[in-house]
A and B are shown apart, each in its own frame.
Chain A
Amino acid sequence: MTTRRQLLGGFAALATVALPAAVRAASARVVIVGGGFAGASCALALRRIAPALELAVVEPRGTFLTGPFSNAALAGLIGPERIRARPGDGLRRHGIRWFAQAAVALDPVARELRLADGRRLRAERIVVAPGIDFVYEAIDGLSAANSDAVPHAWRIDGQFARLRAQLDALPDGATVLIAAPPNPYRCPPGPYERASLFAWHAQRRGLRRRIVIADAKDDFSKRAAFMASWNALYPGMIEWWPRAQGGAVVAVDVAARRVHLAGGETVHAALLSLIPPQRAAAFARDADLADASGWCPVEPLGFESTRHPGIHVLGDACIAAPMPKSAFAANNQGKACALAIAHRLAGETPPAALLLNTCYSLLAPDYALSISGSYRAVGGRLNELSSGLSPAHADPALRELEARHAEGWQAQLLRDSFG
């Protein structure tokens, strides 16, 4: 054990390191593509850390619906305004230049962006945080054009209202099928939270409902706790069909609302929510930032591309394993990247950030499960320092406490990321 004297002795030595003046004074142009959790938090952190930087964010949407708690909003447990981000407002408030249009291309060698209006922006550092794209063609019969009829709503906007309307219109006894994608994908516990809250949606209306999760995997985040909780809250309503039992969806007849599973079974469902396999958004892939996996490799201190120096890739688009593709991870990566950029521009090696992740899943208004981990770069790799999740079996008081924590987590994550 460490003695109190040792602790206090260690203290004085440590409490003196602050950002070098050169880091604070870094003056250069940095452009951020994408105003989601990663891009927005990176912009706000850069403004704070290195106020002299010439900083701009390229994001066509002034406001959008976000992922955390989106299943709760779909099920009517909260209103959609609770999950609305307004990055435009935050950027303006902090005096950060905002281009409210799409970035259409990036030359990663010249570090030059082309915007939708034809304008070109050059910068010493470019941060790319464009999110994900869907590999619709991985499911036979599914396409970007017909996906609206079997909505994933995994980018929330666009398909959110459609999926919610389909859910609200379900009759008594309806079957719902949720297709869960293979790893890696955005929000690993999301499909299972969705099944839970779709069950809550039926239960509070006194409707019978059968919910099938057709899975392309044989395991999932917080599985033991989810499955024990389903037994307690929604007995007999939710079925999980893993890949090993032929559960993966291989084909769909969108018009007939029928899916064909790898095991040979055909399922007809009143509501199909097909969450396709995913990869980094086309913007990043077209800029030669992705490898053969479809995702973007980065170094772990500042999430700088290992393919193109001076370009950073953040959030769901990058390969940050063992961090999951979550809003919280994206937010932490944004801040770590900002710190690293300020150091690099000053010619300093950035410190290894302590990166955190926490993801809560709501299963009912007073019932939540969490998973969390801490991460740090060690020897050129991102290392998991610790991780853990809610116990599989627990007193209802703990689930309720975690539901209250979940509300605080979601509210502050929005505030911290978008200002």
Chain B
Amino acid sequence: MLLRLPAALLFGSCALAPLPAAAASGACPNPELSLGCGSCHGAAPDALPALPRAPAPALYARLARLRDAPYTGTVMPRLLAGLDDQTLQALAAAIACERGGAP
């Protein structure tokens, strides 16, 4: 049968919660950058871990590590490989706002 790895093994534990008011009211920056994230990361029972709730600089650091780390064969480094630092910062800010982390 199919085994399921606990989410914490992959991404660290992240609480699931409804969208913060800022995201729901369209007040978050650059929604055009983050629209693909929720296609994998969300609240489905078997989903990949939810995006962490964290301030934008911490998210940026995490995304940059994923982009720049030696290639391990999974998808995230490939998806981030084409984004320059500035775009990655804007993406981190969008996610931080949508997830209710500090700016």
Binding site for B on A (CB under 8 A): 2, 7-8, 10-11, 14-19, 23-24, 45, 48-49, 78, 328, 331-332, 335-336, 339, 350-356, 358, 365-366, 370, 372-374, 384-391, 394, 398, 401-405, 407-417
In contact, A416 and B74 (Cβ under 8 angstroms): no
CA separation between A77 and B91, bound complex, in Å? 37
Binding site for A on B (CB under 8 A): 1-5, 24-36, 38-48, 56-57, 60, 72-75, 77-83, 85-87, 89-91, 93, 97, 103
Q: Which residue of the partner chain A has the closest CB to B41?
A: A412
- Could you list 7 further interchain pairs (A-B, Cβ under 8 angstroms) beyond the known A11-B60, A16-B29, A356-B36? A11-B93, A332-B39, A388-B81, A404-B3, A412-B40, A413-B40, A416-B38
CA separation between A403 and B73, bound complex, in Å? 13
Instruction: Give me 9 A-to-B residue pairs in the complex whose CB atoms sit less than 8 angstroms apart, sorted by A's number.
Output: A11-B93, A15-B103, A336-B35, A390-B73, A394-B73, A401-B74, A405-B48, A411-B44, A415-B44
Tell me which of A18, A385, A403, A411 contacts B83 (CB under 8 A).
A385
Give the residues in chain A near B43, CB-CB below 8 Å.
415
A354-B91, A358-B40 known; A408-B80 Cβ under 8 A: no
Nearest CB of A to B72, in Å: 8
In contact, B39 and A391 (Cβ under 8 angstroms): no
Tell me which of A78, A351, A389 contacts B32 (CB under 8 A).
A351
A14-B93, A328-B39 known; A373-B78 Cβ under 8 A: yes
In contact, A354 and B32 (Cβ under 8 angstroms): yes
Give the residues in chain B near A49, CB-CB below 8 Å.
26, 31
A11-B57, A15-B103 known; A409-B48 Cβ under 8 A: yes
Give the residues in chain B near A412, CB-CB below 8 Å.
38-42, 44, 46-48
In contact, A10 and B89 (Cβ under 8 angstroms): yes
Give the residues in chain A near B25, CB-CB below 8 Å.
24
A354-B36, A386-B80, A413-B39 known; A18-B29 Cβ under 8 A: yes
Give the residues in chain B near A24, CB-CB below 8 Å.
25-26
Q: Which residue of the partner chain A has the closest CB to B29?
A: A17
Give the residues in chain B near A353, CB-CB below 8 Å.
32-33, 35
In contact, B35 and A416 (Cβ under 8 angstroms): no
Q: Which residue of the partner chain B has the closest CB to A351?
A: B32
Nearest CB of A to B51, in Å: 11
CA separation between A384 and B103, bound complex, in Å? 29
Max chain B CB contacts within 10 Å: which of A354, A410, A413, A415? A354
Give the residues in chain B near A23, CB-CB below 8 Å.
26
In contact, A409 and B42 (Cβ under 8 angstroms): no
Tell me which of A16, A351, A386 contacts B79 (CB under 8 A).
A386
In contact, B2 and A355 (Cβ under 8 angstroms): no
Give the residues in chain B near A410, CB-CB below 8 Å.
46
CA separation between A11 and B92, bound complex, in Å? 9
Max chain A CB contacts within 10 Å: which of B32, B48, B74? B32
A7-B85, A412-B41 known; A372-B79 Cβ under 8 A: yes
Max chain B CB contacts within 10 Å: which of A8, A385, A398? A385
CA separation between A387 and B2, bound complex, in Å? 28
Max chain B CB contacts within 10 Å: which of A14, A374, A407? A14
CA separation between A391 and B70, bound complex, in Å? 14
Give the residues in chain B near A390, CB-CB below 8 Å.
73
Ranked 3 nearest A-B pairs via Cβ: A385-B82, A386-B82, A388-B78
CA separation between A15 and B91, bound complex, in Å? 9
CA separation between A209 and B41, bound complex, in Å? 38
In contact, A386 and B46 (Cβ under 8 angstroms): no
Give the residues in chain A near B41, CB-CB below 8 Å.
412
Q: Which residue of the partner chain A has the closest CB to B72?
A: A398
Tell me which of B40, B46, B74, B82 contacts A374 (CB under 8 A).
B82
CA separation between A127 and B38, bound complex, in Å? 22
A354-B36, A354-B91 known; A18-B28 Cβ under 8 A: yes
CA separation between A27 and B4, bound complex, in Å? 44
Give the residues in chain B near A405, CB-CB below 8 Å.
48, 74-75
In contact, A11 and B73 (Cβ under 8 angstroms): no
